[in-house]
Amino acid sequence: MLPPDLKTIIIMGVSGSGKSVVGSLLAARLEGVFEDGDDFHPAANKAKMSAGTPLNDEDRWPWYATLRQRIEDMRHLTPVYVQACSALKPVYRDKLRAHDHPETLRFVLLDGTKELIATRLAGRKGHFMPPTLLDSQLATLDPTPDIIRVSIDQTPEEIVNEILKKLEHS
């Protein structure tokens, strides 16, 4: 059983950490709604990343405003909303969390070594994000103690089981 007040779960981490795969599986298990933050990037952001240039704060702010709005809209549409979003810096997480009570919104970091993530990115086909941006993603990632961390060195099903267990005890 999830904590009764939990409405939003943000699956966060660098590009290639498995947010889309794990987030969609988690939402299915919870009979909730999953959305991939990547689907809400302005076209200019996707073009920039595709060209191999990391986003900066200015590029990210409008995107985070949209993602926060999705969190609010989903409150009325589903008992639990799972959003995949890199949420690399504390200020980005503050933007997503806004004034929500900590028990209503939790962040789950998909945690892995550079080597494992690079291997997964190398095996991924047809995605706009080039593997060359992994270094900047990892340099920008700044986890804080409020975040639940789960190792990605296991199957997606095992990761989801661990997330559920940790959320239940959080």
Ligand X SMILES: O=C(O)[C@H](O)[C@@H](O)[C@H](O)[C@H](O)CO
In the complex, the residues that contact ligand ATP under the rule CB under 6 A are 13, 15-21, 38, 84, 120, 123-124, 129, 152, 155-156, 159
* DSSP 3-state of 11: strand
Residue nearest to ligand ATP (CB): 18
Residue 120 interaction partner, one of ligand ATP, ligand X, none, beta carbon < 5-8 Å per kind: ligand ATP
CB of 160 to ligand ATP, least distance (A): 10
**Residue 93 and residue 102 in contact, taking contact as beta carbons nearer than 8 Å:** no
Q: Interface with ligand X by CB under 6 A: which residues?
A: 15, 38, 55, 60, 86, 88, 129, 137
* Ranges assigned E (strand) in the chain: 8-12, 33-36, 81-84, 105-111, 148-151
Task: Please compute, for residue 126, the number of CA atoms within 13 A of its CA located in the half-sphere on the CB side.
Answer: 0
Residue 32 interaction partner, one of ligand X, ligand ATP, none, beta carbon < 5-8 Å per kind: none
